[in-house]
Structure 1
Amino acid sequence: MSKRLNYSEIAPEGVKALGGVYGYVMQSGLSPVLVDLVYLRVSQINNCAYCLDMHTRDLIKKGVSVEKLALVQAWREGGALFDSRERAALAWAESVTLVAQTGVPDSAYEVARTVFDERELVDLTIAIALMNTYNRMAISFRNTPQAAIEQ
């Protein structure tokens, strides 16, 4: 599969605007590991190879164990590998990413709001929406994962 186009070159202002949102999320006070776990889970749901590769590498650099990375997709069965904030964030990420199927029910909101304050929940939702956007850009224009380039 080859790259269709380089959207960073074609629409640098748009990509810069997305980068501004990314910068906001990174300074939001949410744990960088938590945010990257959410980014990884959203990318798994959307099957974005480019983003899966990037966020797996980022989490490894942040010291997350291979065992934990291997179970992100099955975090509910991951036991103590995932703390209560991570479990709540991953559940929220799944519900928001799959909004057309889930409608983000009250039950999902109730779980998330017991763990996150209002600002954190808004910031987490912004992060989830941003990753869904990045996934759609990378998939639509066939960004090549770094792992594929290194081969």
Structure 2
Amino acid sequence: MTQRLNYEKASPGGIEALGRVYGYIMQSGLDAVLVDLVYLRASQINGCAYCIDMHTRDLIKKGVAIDKIVLVPVWQEAGALFSDREKAALAWAESVTRVAQSGVPDDDFQAARAVFSEKELADLTIAIGLMNAYNRLAISFRATPEAAR
């Protein structure tokens, strides 16, 4: 796959702005592994090879077991491998990422709100939106995953 456009070079200010949002999320108080699991799941739904590769590597670096990482797409079937907070975050990530199909139903909101504070849920939703933006950049401009270089 050949990269169509170097979006970081083309729009350094835009990428810097996204980076500030990323920085906010990293200091928001949300668990870093939970955020990376959500980033990975959104990237899987969107089919972003670059981001799937990156967030898989990030989770491995953070010590997350390979067994858990490979079961992210089917987290509902993974029993106790995922915590209640992780399950709620992954469900919310799926609903928000699929907003055009899901409309983010009230039941999904209530389930997430039962587990996360208002601030946590807002921050989690910002993180999901950010990853969806990064996915669209990487997919549109054909960013090459590290594994494929």
TM-score interval (norm. to shorter): over 0.9
Give the equivalent residue in structure 1 for 2:92: 92
Deviation, structure 1 residue 81: 0.6
- The Cα RMSD (Å) is 0.3
Q: Distance in 2 between matches of 1:40 and 1:78?
A: 16
Q: Tell me which amino acid in the other structure corresponds to 1:2.
A: T
What is the deviation of 1:137?
A: 0.1
Equivalent residue number for residue 46 of structure 1: 46
Alignment of 1:19-38 (within 5 A): 19-38=19-38
Q: Identity of counterpart residues, as a percentage?
A: 70
Runs of 4 or more off by more than 3 Å in structure 1?
A: none
Q: Which runs of 5+ in 1 are unaligned?
A: none
TM-score by length of 1: 0.98
CA–CA distance in 1 between the matches of 2:17 and 2:101?
A: 29
2:24 partner amino acid: Y
Alignment of 1:61-76 (within 5 A): 61-76=61-76
The alignment covers a number of residue pairs equal to 149
SS at match of 1:5: coil
Q: Which stretches in structure 2 are left out of the alignment for 5+ residues?
A: none
Measure how far apart 1:14 and its partner are: 0.3
- Write the distance in 1 (CA, Å) between the matches of 2:55 and 2:96: 19
TM-score after normalising by structure 2: 0.99
Write the deviation string for residues 19-59 of structure 1: whole angstroms up to 9, x where unpaired: 00000000000000000000000000000000000000000
